[in-house]
Chain A
Amino acid sequence: MTRYCALPHIDAASYVRHSLHGEECDWVEKNCYVDLLIEVVHALGLEPYAMLPFILTVDFVGDQWTFFKPQHKELRYLYGLDIQEMSNWRPLLDHAVEHLSAQRLISVEVDSFWLPDTAATDYRQKHTKTTIALSEIDTQNYRLGYFHNAGYYELEGEDFRQIFRIDMPADPTYLPLYAELIHINQVKQLDDELLAQYSGNLLRQHIGLIPQSNPIKPFAERFERDLPAMHEHGLAYYHLWAFNNTRQMGAAFELAAAYLKWLTQYNKLDMSPAIESFQKISSANKSLILKIARSVNSSRPLDLSALFAEMADDWDRGMNCVVDKLKI
């Protein structure tokens, strides 16, 4: 036997991504970890919206916005999914055979240089750390089925050899990257109403964890301090800054709006002011990412004070609405 598969019903050619990764989104890709979880949950026939309450707690933390992701205990509470760190003590290929045959997916950090789904960015061009979830492996034909970013893909040949370090000489300086096991044998499917109720329970907990003060204000101040360095280092540096700042911020608030829209179908609360406010922050960041790029490219100064002030007002309005409606 050379083919091992944790999710036999999934096929890269026919895979349909979740609407949270629809092309109509401002931010189709959010970050690799949450993107992967959205699609794994979706592929299991479960509803990813329910796991999003954590998104209200995103904060600006010095040189970046929160790299947001759900807590594992919440995934177990909602879906019966159990995620634990995998000790990467033997070749990844051996771990893959072991665990995929036992219906445990492996999420693992890899070099996107060898991921063909990144053809528009990193594939065979740039070395970037990212996380994929291994789902199906064929050890004879060197083929892998994996979740990454907004979809489910396949790779083979040299890409497979590189990802799994086939026939590479032993290298004492090589440290294997972080990996997790995703146990799916106790997955539970709650009915929609109950899942929404569970999700609402999590939202009430997370409201207690939202930033104590408006995070957009320190972000605006930090941007002013960072802009000269971006002018000096150019677009390549800017793209890194933008991923960790405007993208995370924009994507977070788009998810927040989408989540509240989903939840309020069930709890019947009118959170439309929050949904609109958070969607405005998402859209504003789409404009922001382009305006800053223009400034970096030309080294021209840029006054974003009005844009930041409006986003800060939207944050206040959105959070006040949610807190008020939940009567916390």
Chain B
Amino acid sequence: MTDTNAIDLQIRTVLKDHARLMEDALTLDPNNDLYQSGMTSLSSVNVMLGLEGAFDVEFPDHMLNKKVFGCIASIRSALMELTAA
């Protein structure tokens, strides 16, 4: 499994546990808008906490926004930036 696939799987698992999406987080297109797929601002809080726990990171202030948490691809980019640092 490539690094990207492994990261995506972990992201999807967190979404499955916390995002309460209308669609299956395990098969959702990585560019689909998570908020339009059912994630609310309430569940996005739990998603953020879940991601920080799963990846042992802390999102800096400039990443605490809808743009970062808007889709799997953007979450992946943010996490790769944080874990590479």
Contact = CB atoms under 8 A, between A and B. Distances in A.
Q: Do A and B come from one complex?
A: yes
Interface of A: 23, 26-29, 119-121, 235, 239, 242-243, 247, 283, 286-287, 289-291, 293-294, 297
B40 A293 contact: no
A247 B52 CA distance: 22
Contacts of B33: 23
Nearest to A26: B66
18 contacts: A23-B36, A28-B35, A29-B40, A119-B38, A120-B21, A120-B39, A121-B43, A235-B49, A239-B42, A242-B45, A286-B66, A287-B61, A287-B65, A290-B45, A290-B48, A290-B64, A294-B52, A297-B49
A286 B65 contact: yes
B58 interface: yes
Nearest to B39: A120
Contacts of B66: 26, 286
Contacts of A283: 65
B22 interface: yes
B41 interface: yes
Nearest to B48: A290
Contacts of B38: 119-120
Interface in B37-70: 38-43, 45-46, 48-49, 52, 58-59, 61, 64-66
Nearest to A247: B41
Most buried by A among B41, B42, B46, B58: B41
Contact of A23 (B21, B35, B46, B59): B35
A290 B42 CA distance: 10
B60 to A, nearest CB: 10
Contacts of B65: 283, 286-287
A28 B49 contact: no
Contacts of B61: 287, 291
B16 interface: no
Contacts of B59: 290
Contacts of A243: 42
Given A27-B41, A294-B58, A120 B22 contact: yes
Contact of A293 (B19, B21, B45, B58): B45
Which A-B residue pairs are the 10 nearest by beta carbons?
Answer: A120-B20, A120-B38, A287-B64, A293-B45, A290-B64, A120-B40, A297-B49, A290-B48, A23-B35, A287-B61
A26 B43 CA distance: 14
A291 B61 CA distance: 8
B40 A121 contact: yes
A293 B64 contact: no
B64 A121 contact: no
A270 B64 CA distance: 30
